[in-house]
């Protein structure tokens, strides 16, 4: 079973439709018992880090257990950011800390380069290393909407970046945990290919 966590901070319809488009049956649920049965877990996210973490409080243990059980897990956009330790968006709020590191706001100097915050629109991937998630994917354009970006303590988990005035981690992977800063479900045929690649892990 593929389960999307309905925790009140996710763009559930688009991610559900993306997986359905590639032939997957998905369950959108806020039921912890159902989530505990999931073979695959998806954590989408839209909005503020602090609000998301407040809403995720009751789901923390089921997420940690899923990851400990080495089941495939995918975080998308804010669902990537909350996997880190903390965020400048809401100082003092602890993230899930799956990936040590922080979430930083884009520097104010970007406007001097003609770059707006939030980073909204299409940007080209720079592939840093091979990953099953990116099989058949190259310097393709993905769709982003975010004002903050992750700064992992361990650069080895970064498999792709984009250039937006700073080097922005776009895909992070460690063992059974995969996450994208962009929205694969809104990134056309190549984005859907990434979802297919993820499902091949199941």
Hey, where are the domains in the chain?
2-199
Cβ pair 120, 152 in contact under 8 A: no
Q: Check pLDDT > 80 for residue 30.
A: yes
Distance CA 184, CA 132 (A): 15
Distance CA 67, CA 40 (A): 10
- What mean pLDDT is reported for the chain? 95
Domain spanning 2-199 has what CATH number? 3.40.50.880
Taking only the tens place, the pLDDT of each residue in 50-73 is 999 999 999 999 999 999 999 999
Percent pLDDT > 90 in the chain is 91
Task: Quote the pLDDT of residue 8.
Answer: 86
- Would the pTM count as exceeding 0.85? yes
- At residue 138's C-alpha, the angle toward residues 148 and 105, to 5°, is 5
The whole-number average pLDDT for the span 105-122 is: 92
Q: Check pLDDT > 90 for residue 93.
A: yes
Active-site residue among 66, 86, 119, 185?
185
pLDDT band at 10 (very low <50, low <70, confident <90, very high): confident
Q: Check pLDDT > 80 for residue 201.
A: no
Task: Quote the pLDDT of residue 199.
Answer: 93
Task: Quote the pLDDT of residue 165.
Answer: 95
Taking only the tens place, the pLDDT of each residue in 139-181 is 999 999 999 999 999 999 999 999 999 999 999 999 999 999 9
Task: Quote the pLDDT of residue 103.
Answer: 98
Active-site residue among 66, 119, 146, 183?
183
Distance CA 96, CA 85 (A): 6
* Torsion angle defined by CA atoms of residues 122, 127, 132 and 134, in that order, rounded to the nearest 10 degrees: 20
Q: Does the annotation mark 88 as catalytic?
A: no
Distance CA 135, CA 197 (A): 7
Q: Check pLDDT > 90 for residue 125.
A: yes
Q: Does the annotation mark 185 as catalytic?
A: yes
End-to-end alpha carbon distance in the chain: 10
pLDDT band at 94 (very low <50, low <70, confident <90, very high): very high
Active-site residue among 66, 77, 86, 119?
77
Q: Does the annotation mark 77 as catalytic?
A: yes
């Amino acid at each position: 079973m593929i389960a999307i966590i309905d925790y009140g901070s996710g763009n559930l319809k688009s991610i559900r439709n993306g997986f359905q488009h590639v032939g997957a049956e998905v369950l959108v649920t806020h039921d912890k018992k159902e989530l505990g049965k999931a073979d695959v877990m998806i954590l989408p996210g839209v909005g503020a880090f602090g609000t998301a973490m407040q809403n995720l409080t009751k789901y923390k243990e089921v997420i940690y257990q899923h990851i400990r059980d080495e089941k495939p897990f995918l975080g998308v956009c804010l669902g990537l950011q909350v996997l880190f330790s903390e965020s400048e968006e809401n100082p003092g709020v602890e993230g899930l800390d799956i990936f040590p590191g922080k979430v930083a706001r884009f520097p104010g100097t970007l406007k001097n380069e003609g770059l707006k915050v939030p980073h909204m629109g299409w940007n080209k991937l720079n592939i840093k290393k091979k990953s099953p998630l990116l099989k058949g994917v190259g310097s393709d354009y993905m769709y982003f909407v975010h004002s903050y970006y992750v700064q992992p303590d361990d650069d080895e988990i970064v498999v792709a970046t984009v250039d937006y005035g700073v080097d922005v981690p776009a895909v992070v992977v460690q063992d059974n945990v995969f996450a994208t800063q962009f929205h694969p479900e809104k990134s056309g045929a190549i984005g859907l290919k990434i979802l297919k690649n993820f499902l091949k892990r199941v």
